[in-house]
Amino acid sequence: MRVIQWSTGNVGRHALAGIAARPDLELAGVWVSSEAKAGKDAGELAGLGRPLGVSVTTDADALIALKPDCVLYTAMADDRLVEAVEDLKRFLRAGINVVSSSPVFLQYPEGVVPPEMIEPIREAACEGGASLWVNGIDPGFANDWLPLVLTGVCERIDEVRCMEILDYSTYDQGKVLFDIMGFGREMDDLPLLLQPGVLSLAWGSVVRQLAAGLDVELDSVEEVYERLPAPETFEIASGTIKEGTAAALRFEVRGMRGGRAVCVLEHVTRLRGDLGPDWPQPSGQGCYRVQVTGEPNYVLDLRLVGTDGDHNTAGLKATAMRLVNAIPAVVAAPPGLLTALDLPLVTGRGLVSP
């Protein structure tokens, strides 16, 4: 299958390596937004130490004209939702299937955003006879198939809680950390992520998809958060965190039924391991945790470590490979906006070395 990689940032460069690793995928082209990258070999941007024989380009029209089987879209959408949605519709209308890491609410949009935001996407998919699937590690595998598989060994389920417990100090993405999540900003300065309704827009899809997978109808979705200040000034990969500014964040998006939470997405994000000592602690350097309360009770930890020893590298790689490995299933699926509930269990088939 011929695949075009769209962007080569934190996730995109890992996606390039993943495409190169699969014998059933061919890298047909790569789009970048930077003229400084244009003309370089994709293998260089992927950090593979070898050429892939594909030069990257800023010419979107030329890449779409190649009519690939799929576009793997990893361009940031947090601060450009309208533009990202227009990109996706353009691919679909051209008859190109898409796997994407954003916008995240599209992983399961029912009840999250108004139908008028979704119908144009479905219409574009119908017009082009193509499919779109948005996923990753979170929102994605850590809170769709991972918890749903675990519930298959339950007698009774009272609550399903999906948690991300990570230290983000090595995550080198200043726009996300400072501008969107509000780290390093004054405690009374409310960032984009914590504006009313944004948490539910980003992760409401998680709790609603879990509920749908369990055949549970939610009454409502609620959000809560707590922040902690830096006890002194310190450095992280993306810059300086000054004393007294935001340095740790804990939030929950709760799917409610009958006055209690039944499906919960919780994030515990620190910029230093000693912050919030009474908050949930990770397994290993960092983990995704599924807690099922019921009969019996389960706790399942998915620990992340990249080959470079860093857990954040592993998270980026997991997001990329969730998309790469799903390409054959998405290409084979009927046209439309797909969710994890629509696809077969996605595996790393064909990746075991002989």
DSSP string, 268-286: EEESSTTSSTTS---STT-
Q: What is the pLDDT of residue 345?
A: 76
pLDDT tens sequence across 305-316: 999 999 999 999
Q: How far apart are the first and last CA of the chain?
A: 22
At residue 159, does pLDDT exceed 80?
yes
- Rounded to an integer, the average pLDDT of 277-282 is 97
Give the span between the Cα atoms of 106 and 73, in whole angstroms: 13
**352, pLDDT greater than 80:** no
Residue 349: pLDDT above 60? Answer: no
pLDDT digit string, tens, across residues 293-342? 999 999 999 999 999 999 999 999 999 999 999 999 999 999 999 999 99
Report the C-alpha gap between 302 and 297 in whole angstroms.
Answer: 17
Residues 88-128 pLDDT 10s: 999 999 999 999 999 999 999 999 989 999 999 999 999 99
CA distance 110 to 277: 37
CATH superfamily of 2-134+315-338: NAD(P)-binding Rossmann-like Domain (3.40.50.720)
Q: What is the pTM of this model?
A: 0.92
To the nearest whole number, what is the mean pLDDT of the chain?
94
Q: Read off the pLDDT band of 353 (50, 70, 90).
A: very low
Domain ranges of the chain: 2-134+315-338, 144-303
Whole-angstrom CA distances from 133 to 118, 338, 341 are 13, 5, 11
Model confidence at 76, pLDDT cuts 50, 70, 90, reads confident
Q: List CB contacts of 240: < 8 A, sequence separation 6 or more.
A: 184, 233, 234
Q: What is the pLDDT of residue 354?
A: 46
